[in-house]
Amino acid sequence: MERSDEGFPVQQKIQENYLKVDVYYQTFNVRSVSEVPQYSGDSLFAALGGALSFYLGVAIVIGFELVELFVLVFASIWSHQTQSPKKSFMKNSDALENNRAILKAQ
């Protein structure tokens, strides 16, 4: 008989360190699982096409909304830059007469 590193026979080492398990089935029923495709090739492409067209439509609407936002922002900035400064409440001739009256009163 062969001997292991420790000097014991290999068969004795196996008997001491290994476990034998017997498995018994209660019933011999077999459960079978089969996979069936939910979509055929045509219906798969139709479903993908529908989803892609929906997302493309949403992306186009968002694109137009962004363009509208930029146009409104630039129009607002441009209109504030081109407006003339507010006119004073008095005309220049009225202001000149007002200044003369103040100088005469002093």
Extended strands (E) in 31-91:
none
**Is 98's pLDDT higher than 90?**
no
For residue 86, the model assigns a pLDDT of 58
Kindly report whether the global pTM for this prediction surpasses the value 0.85: no
Query: Which 8-state DSSP code applies to residue 6?
Result: T
For the cut 90, the answer to whether the pLDDT of residue 18 exceeds it is: no
Whether 72 shows a pLDDT value over 90: the answer reads: yes
CB 4 within 8 A of CB 10: yes
Q: CB count, 10 Å around CB of 13?
A: 15
Residue 101: other Cβ atoms inside 10 A: 9
Beta-carbon contacts of 99 under 8 Å, excluding residues fewer than 6 positions away, are none
